[in-house]
Amino acid sequence: MNQTTDDFISMLPLADLPPGSGRTVDINGIWIALYNVDGTLYAIDNACPHAGGPLGEGKCVDGIVECPWHGWKFDVRTGQRVKNPNFTVACCDVRVQDGQIQIKLPAELR
């Protein structure tokens, strides 16, 4: 993992996260759930706000991830809970540079 000068951190090669897949990554002790939804990359806080369940281990279908512990569903594009947007998870900026997926943590996760 390499930090860049603009706070983006290289996590893994784009080839390691094909469309339809997801995985968790560790950024300095903060776990992030990373998804490739039809070729677009999204990254959210891995901890479900309900009970801290690992969102990265949940099933993601059409950009909606379901927490494996209690079934809460979140839109990985917005971080909002499906059917109750008062509950959210933090979203990270994601980009690809030189074939590497890079993530920038939002202030609330730093």
DSSP state of 110: -
Neighbours of 52 (CB within 10 A): 11
Predicted TM-score (pTM) of this structure:
0.93
**Predicted confidence pLDDT, tens digits, the chain (110 residues):** 555 558 999 999 999 999 999 999 999 899 999 999 999 999 999 999 999 999 999 999 999 999 999 999 999 999 999 999 999 999 999 999 999 999 999 999 98
* pLDDT of 6: 85
Q: Sheet containing 2-3: which strands, arranged edge to edge?
A: 2-3, 9-13, 100-104, 91-97, 40-45, 30-37, 22-27
